[in-house]
Chain A
Amino acid sequence: EVQLVQSGAEVKKPGESLKISCKGSGYSFTSYWIGWVRQMPGKGLEWMGIIYPGDSDTRYSPSFQGQVTISADKSISTAYLQWSSLKASDTAMYYCARHLSGSLFDPWGQGTLVTVSS
Chain B
Amino acid sequence: QSALTQPASVSGSPGQSITISCTGTSSDVGSYNLVSWYQQHPGKAPKLMIYEGSKRPSGVSNRFSGSKSGNTASLTISGLQAEDEADYYCCSYAGSSTYVVFGGGTKLTVL
CB within 8 Å of B: which residues of A?
Answer: 35, 37, 44-47, 50, 59, 61-62, 95, 97, 100-111
* Residues of A with C-beta under 8 A to B35: 103
B52 close to A (CB within 8 Å):
yes
Instruction: Pick the contact of B48: A45, A62, A95, A105 (CB < 8 A).
Output: A105
Give the interface of B toward A (CB within 8 A). 2, 32, 34-36, 38, 40, 45-48, 51-52, 57, 89, 91-93, 97-105
B98/A103 in contact, CB under 8 A: no
- The CA-CA distance from A101 to B97 in the complex, in Å, is 15
In whole angstroms, what is the CA distance A110 to B21 when docked? 27
With A102-B34, A104-B52, A106-B57 as given contacts, are A47 and B99 in contact (CB-CB < 8 Å)? yes
Q: Give the secondary structure class of B's interface.
A: strand
B105 / chain A contacts, CB cutoff of 8 Å: 44-45
15 examples of A-B residue contacts, CB within 8 angstroms: A37-B102, A44-B89, A45-B38, A47-B100, A61-B98, A97-B46, A102-B51, A103-B51, A103-B100, A104-B36, A104-B51, A105-B36, A106-B57, A108-B46, A110-B45
Residues of A within 8 A of B52 (CB): 102, 104
The answer on a CB contact under 8 Å between B32 and A106 is no
The 9 closest A-B pairs by CB, nearest first: A102-B34, A102-B93, A103-B91, A44-B105, A108-B45, A106-B48, A47-B100, A103-B36, A104-B51
From A45, A62, A103, contact of B34 by CB (8 A): A103
Cβ-defined partner of B102 (8 Å) among A47, A108, A110: A47
Which B-chain residue is minimally distant from A99 (CB atoms)?
B100
Contact pick for A44, options B2, B51, B97, CB 8 Å: B2
Given contacts A61-B100, A105-B48, 4 further A-B contacts (CB under 8 A): A45-B40, A101-B34, A102-B51, A102-B52
Chain B residues within an 8 Å CB radius of A101: 34
User: Nearest Cβ distance between residue B62 and chain A, in whole angstroms?
Assistant: 18
Distance in angstroms between the alpha carbons of A101 and B34 in the assembled complex: 8
For B46, the closest partner residue in chain A by CB is: A108
